[in-house]
Amino acid sequence: YKYVTISDKKLDETIYHVLKTTPTIGLAIMTGKLKTLGIRVPRQRVRDSYSRVLVAVGNPFRRRIQRRMYCVRAPLS
């Protein structure tokens, strides 16, 4: 595939606007959204820009998943 020449600042701005409209979007969906906008860049650049913008936005949905403790009386019960 042929990659588009785009500055880091412009990529950050585009990702920022996408995150403002859909704040719970993940990295894989973000890559697809950028492709639909005609911005085809390497995955590493999207990952770097995404992490920079998340720090600036302060995404509240990026939290650790709470796991329950598995506890039974005896093994295999």
- Does the pTM surpass 0.85? The reply is no
The contacts of residue 38 (CB under 8 Å, 6+ apart) are 4
Q: In the chain, what percentage of residues exceed pLDDT 70?
A: 87
Say how far apart CA 54 and CA 52 lie, in whole Å. 6
**Strand, helix or coil for residue 49:** helix
Query: Which of the pair, 13 or 62, is modelled with greater confidence?
Result: 13
* Per-residue model confidence (pLDDT) at position 76: 75
